[in-house]
Amino acid sequence: MNSSNIIETPEELDSFRTQIRRFVERELAPHVDEWDEAGELPRDIYRKAGALGILGLGYPEEYGGTSASLAMRSIAIQEIARAGSGGLFVCLFTHSIFVQPMIALGTEEQKQRTLPSILAGESIAACAITEPSGGSDVANLRTRARLDGDHFVVDGEKTFISNGVRADYYAVAVRTGGEGARGISMLLIERDRPGFSRTALKKMGWWTSDTATLHFDACRVPVANLMGKEGSGFRTLMENFNGERLLMADEACSFAEVCFEEALAWARERETFGQPLIRHQVVRHKLVDMKMRLTSTRTWIEQATARMDAGDRSDPFIAELCMLKNHAGQTMRWCADQSVQLLGGMGFMRGMKSERIYRDVKGIMIGGGAEDILKELAANKLGY
């Protein structure tokens, strides 16, 4: 995000929160069950989110973005999470992992061709890195792009790609050179390229978001679609992960907060043994434990957001983002579990936010770097 040195007033942030909350209450929350069962988000919702400026927060105005701090983006994350659907969230924010490498590497023609329509919600974007042979081992990816005249010929597969079926534009990590990180480049690939096909995948959670395996079979892509120089892809992807991990930590904490709110409301309304649930000590202690974890996680996210807004890209901060993403995922898992347990039979029923969030937890804990991978990366950055 291009957000450094932007500071909104408290009044501006409050006004933005109110606007997004109304959007969620009117346009999103009433329909999340329907979209979950359908397995897709209507394209019109992308356009409505784009018209509100949600998709363009923090991106350059010349491409249709809106000047904003990461603190303002955090408000959008928190409010959209109130709908209680991880799949909806993935649909609306996955474009960020396309936009960042496009801004960093793309030619002006590529940016003008893709970014305005994506940030307006007219087009859908995806970033394709993970492969069947190894998700986190980016430096050894196998999808190859062989130069043939004025085209690259792409062969290989990508998998677990969010927005993979319906995206119009894909930023695809390919091997154009030798082995290792230095041989990796990024290509812009449009959905209608001959030799490019997609297979939908079924998942534990995030049902609203389509997820796919991408197949490239002698897919010809113009050399003009190369993003940046050959061999420049790996470093950009690693930098892209930093922003993604902060976003996912914020997402995880926001969904954990939704679980807490649903559990608290239920505890106040539900009566057992002649009194509201909340009058039982064990229930109050569960709620306090949830609040304790939420407060520590939210405080850490706010501190990390301020540091990233200030431009911190140091190794210790990268390590902190890895640990924060893990910590927030664990907070989400714990709060979802406690909420479902407190809700009892209702927590096991479709239509409850906590039930859906419980299914979505592993998507957070695996996506953007699985826990053990992030622990190792953090140890490396800290010199352990």
pLDDT tens readout for residues 264-282 = 999 999 988 889 999 999 9
In the chain, the amino acid numbered 255 is F
| Largest separation between any pair of C-alpha atoms in the chain | 79
Residue 297: partners with Cβ closer than 8 Å, 6 or more residues away: 249, 252, 253, 256, 327, 328, 331
**Residue 325 near residue 374 (C-beta atoms within 8 A):** yes
pTM of the model: 0.93
Q: Do the beta carbons of residue 294 and residue 256 sit within 8 Å? A: yes
The H or E element spanning position 184 is: strand 184-190
Residue 283: other Cβ atoms inside 10 A: 19
On whether the CB atoms of residues 378 and 323 are closer than 8 A, the answer is yes
User: Which DSSP state fits 382?
Assistant: T
Question: Which pair of tokens denotes residue 374?
Answer: 């992030």
12 among known catalytic residues: no
**Which stretch of DSSP H or E encloses residue 196?**
strand 196-200
- Which tokens in the block code for residue 151? 């085209």
Calpha distance 118→106 (Å, rounded): 15
Please say whether the beta carbons of 164 and 210 come within 8 A: yes
Query: Which residue out of 131, 230, 244, 262 is catalytically annotated?
Result: 244
**Number of helical (H) and strand (E) elements in the chain, helices listed first:** 12, 10
pLDDT 10s digits, 245-268: 999 999 999 999 999 999 999 999
The confidence score (pLDDT) of residue 137 equals: 81
Q: Which tokens go with 89? A: 């969230």
**Backbone dihedral angles phi then psi of residue 125, each to the nearest 5 degrees:** -125, 155
Q: For 242-300, give the DSSP string.
A: HHHHHHHHHHHHHHHHHHHHHHHHHHHH-EETTEEGGGSHHHHHHHHHHHHHHHHHHHH
The rounded radius of gyration (Å) of the Cα atoms in the chain is 21
Domains of the chain from N-terminus onward: 10-119 (1.10.540.10), 125-231 (2.40.110.10), 234-381 (1.20.140.10)
Q: What is the CA angle 222-110-189, rounded to 5?
A: 45
The predicted-structure confidence for 320-375, as pLDDT tens digits, reads as follows 999 999 999 999 999 999 999 999 999 999 999 999 999 999 999 998 889 999 99
For 196, list phi and psi in degrees, rounded to 5. -115, 120
Nearest CA to 328 out of 216, 384, 253 is that of 253
Give residue 135's pLDDT: 67
Write down the H helix ranges in 82-197: 86-93, 96-105, 108-119
In a 10 Å sphere around its CB, with 0-12 CB exposed, 13-18 middle and 19+ buried, how is residue 299 labelled?
Answer: exposed
- pLDDT under 70: residue ranges of the chain: 1-5, 135
